[in-house]
Amino acid sequence: MARVVCRLVAIAVLLVATRGETLAGELQLRVAAASVPVRAGPGGSYREIGRVAEGEVFTALDWTADHSWWRIELARGVTGWVFGELVWPFRVVADSAMERAGSWLDRKLLGKSSIERNRFSMAVSAGALGSDGLFTLGLGIFPTDHTLLEVTVGQSAGSYGNVFSARLEVLVLLGPWRAVVPFLAAGGGLAVFSPHRNVEVFARGSNALAGAGGGLLLQLRVGLTLRVEARHMMLFSANKTWSAEAISGGVMLVF
């Protein structure tokens, strides 16, 4: 009970200080529970649109009259409400323009990415394998916050012939970043090669496939991410090896 009273007193002081005047700092909310649901409206009956983790900090955009619900920006253009008992309000005073710019950069770009709060993904990409076209479809699962295990199927057609591939990859997310998430990727699988008559890189049939590279995930909004990546791909058999650079871009849905 004493903790609740102290929290309400702190909220009241901050609201009085922030209403009706321009401040050097903004009212912030620090998540105080391990995992807090973000809802579409100020109430437990509204649908859940995401989750935030302990220690994350958000700017308070609005609040209910009794201060029991606070509105935050979950991602660019997407806002939601969190229960007041699960966050702690505070205000950071930034006296200079440089400090305010640094605070904005930290909140908008360098905070923890909401990608890591999801558990499944689906990616569609198009690009080039060497000088040929390339199309891929990937389905993934997040076994940890910073690791994506992905099964990808792809097809390349052009001067080399037709290459149908299936591979398993591990993507390691390097962060945390809110809007931009770099990653490293490595994996292997199987490729079915159907060469042209005049350019026989491999004999017709199945060959082992391996690849490694990296890329960037650019979060457009919650659940929708732009994906840009490059890999060094290698096909090999018992007595022959062929390699090419794969560069592609597309979109990834996370949920």
How many Cβ atoms sit within 10 Å of the Cβ of residue 181?
22
pLDDT score of 154: 92
Alpha carbon distance 134, 128 (integer Å): 5
Selection from 245, 169, 249 nearest residue 216 by Cα: 249
Please give the sequence-ordered ranges of beta strands (E in DSSP) within the chain, or none if there are none: 26-31, 35-39, 48-53, 57-59, 62-63, 69-75, 78-83, 87-92, 120-129, 132-144, 147-158, 161-173, 180-195, 205-221, 224-236, 241-254
Q: How far is CA 126 from CA 135, 154, 157, 249, in A?
A: 4, 9, 12, 6
Give the position of tokens 């950069």.
105
Collect all residues with Cβ–Cβ distance below 8 Å to 207 and sequence separation of at least 6: 190, 191, 192, 193, 235, 236, 237
- The domains located in the chain, with CATH, are 2-108 (2.30.30.40), 117-254 (2.40.160.20)
The C-alpha angle 136, 137, 140, rounded to 5 degrees, equals 130
pLDDT score of 251: 94
pLDDT score of 17: 44
The C-alpha angle 83, 88, 89, rounded to 5 degrees, equals 105
Tokens at 209, concatenated: 């496939």
The C-alpha angle 238, 241, 245, rounded to 5 degrees, equals 150
pLDDT score of 79: 86
Tokens at 20, concatenated: 């009706």
Give the residues of the chain that fall short of pLDDT 50: 1-2, 4-5, 9, 12-13, 15-25
Tokens at 9, concatenated: 């007193």
Tokens at 64, concatenated: 């209910």
Selection from 7, 9, 47 nearest residue 30 by Cα: 7
